[in-house]
């Protein structure tokens, strides 16, 4: 089993029906969280996932909508005292950010920061880390703002022969296309719509539109594309986003809702309502 649950699919200022973009990957050996926005603690529980059971967290960058839920997860560790300790994969600058906001907002949890297993990621070339004997995490710097370096993510599940990639807060990037090469699922931001927002150049804001996400998925030869980091203009325009991405990408295109689940080693998408335990 390789199960991907979209806990949140919205942008920094998401529409009311979407939380900030974050997802969890669950296998028999691992519970892995990608990013931790402000509502992540509740998002996990609404998806039937106990936050204390998370084995590893990846933080793509330090923007508030991707890290402000971290202090609650840190505070939780004070009560669960898990072994082995929670692994946190992030750059040195992101560690400084989440450590500072945890100390300021939950000073009683500050001592827990030293008990985490921090795995420092470089703000640059591709690097890999083994999450388990069969699962490898690979990261690389993508085209984000110079003042806030952003890492792209790839997870390879060698025992199943499948992979997923994730691009958060990034303009169209050769690094993402390369990192996601031949992946079974590319989770790519689509903060804008080329059809609905014709006066916006997303790359100047270090973001992408759905058409550009489709171009990256096509270059990567990905099998499936999930569009996330959506704003309020996208609420009733799922078909528009899908059509934009389909201009260049011929694979399966998904615009998931919060709570939707993908079985990565099949082609199954379970809507949020049906995914509840």
Asked if 33 and 58 touch (Cβ cutoff 8 Å), the reply is yes
The DSSP result for 114-146, as a single string, is: GGSEEEE--SSS-EEEESSSSEEEEEEE-S--T
Q: What is the pLDDT of residue 123?
A: 93
* Residue pLDDT tens, the chain, 277 long: 999 999 999 999 888 889 999 999 999 999 999 999 999 999 999 999 999 999 999 999 999 999 999 999 999 988 887 788 999 999 999 999 999 999 999 999 999 899 999 999 999 899 999 999 999 999 999 998 889 999 999 999 999 999 999 998 999 999 999 999 999 999 999 999 889 888 888 888 899 999 999 999 999 999 999 999 998 877 778 899 999 999 999 999 999 999 999 999 876 667 765 544 4
Walk across the sheet containing 261-263 and list its strands: 117-120, 87-90, 56-58, 31-34, 22-26, 3-8, 261-263, 268-270
Domain assignment of residue 67, given as a range: 3-272
SS3 105: helix
The DSSP result for 50-73, as a single string, is: -GGG--EEE-----HHHHTTHHHH
Q: What is the pLDDT of residue 276?
A: 44
Pairing mode of beta strands 268-270, 261-263: antiparallel
- The answer to whether residue 242 sits within a structural domain is yes
- The answer to whether residue 102 sits within a structural domain is yes
Q: What is the pLDDT of residue 274?
A: 52
Q: What are phi and psi of 249, to 5 degrees?
A: -115, 125
- The answer to whether residue 277 sits within a structural domain is no
Q: How many domains does the chain have?
A: 1
Beta-bridged to residue 22, according to DSSP, are: 8
Both tokens of 163, joined, read 């992979």
Q: What is the pLDDT of residue 269?
A: 66
> Domain with 229 in it: what CATH number?
3.60.15.10
């Amino acid at each position: 089993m390789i199960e991907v649950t979209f806990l949140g699919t919205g942008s920094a200022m998401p529409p009311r029906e979407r939380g900030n973009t974050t997802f969890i990957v669950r296998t028999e050996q691992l519970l892995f969280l990608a990013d931790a926005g402000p509502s992540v603690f509740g998002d996990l529980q609404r998806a039937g996932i106990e936050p204390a059971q998370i084995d590893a967290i990846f933080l793509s960058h330090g923007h508030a909508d991707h890290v402000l839920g971290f202090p609650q997860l840190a505070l939780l560790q004070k009560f669960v005292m898990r072994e082995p300790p929670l692994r946190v994969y992030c750059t040195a600058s992101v560690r400084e950010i989440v450590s500072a906001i945890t100390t300021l907002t939950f000073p009683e949890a500050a001592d827990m920061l030293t008990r985490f297993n921090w795995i420092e990621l470089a703000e640059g070339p591709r690097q890999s880390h083994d999450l388990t004997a069969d699962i490898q995490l690979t990261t690389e710097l993508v085209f984000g703002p110079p003042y806030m370096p952003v890492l792209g993510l790839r997870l390879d599940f060698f025992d199943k022969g499948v992979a997923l990639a994730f691009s958060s807060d990034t303009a169209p990037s050769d690094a993402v296309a390369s990192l996601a090469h031949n992946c079974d699922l590319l989770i790519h931001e689509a903060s804008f719509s080329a059809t609905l927002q014709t006066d916006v150049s997303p790359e100047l804001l270090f973001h992408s539109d759905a058409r550009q996400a489709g171009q990256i998925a096509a270059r990567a030869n990905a099998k499936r594309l999930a569009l996330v980091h959506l704003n309020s203009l996208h609420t009733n325009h799922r078909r528009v986003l899908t059509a934009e991405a389909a201009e260049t990408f011929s694979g399966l295109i998904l615009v998931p809702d919060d709570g939707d689940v993908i079985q990565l080693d099949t082609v199954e998408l379970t809507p949020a309502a049906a995914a509840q335990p």
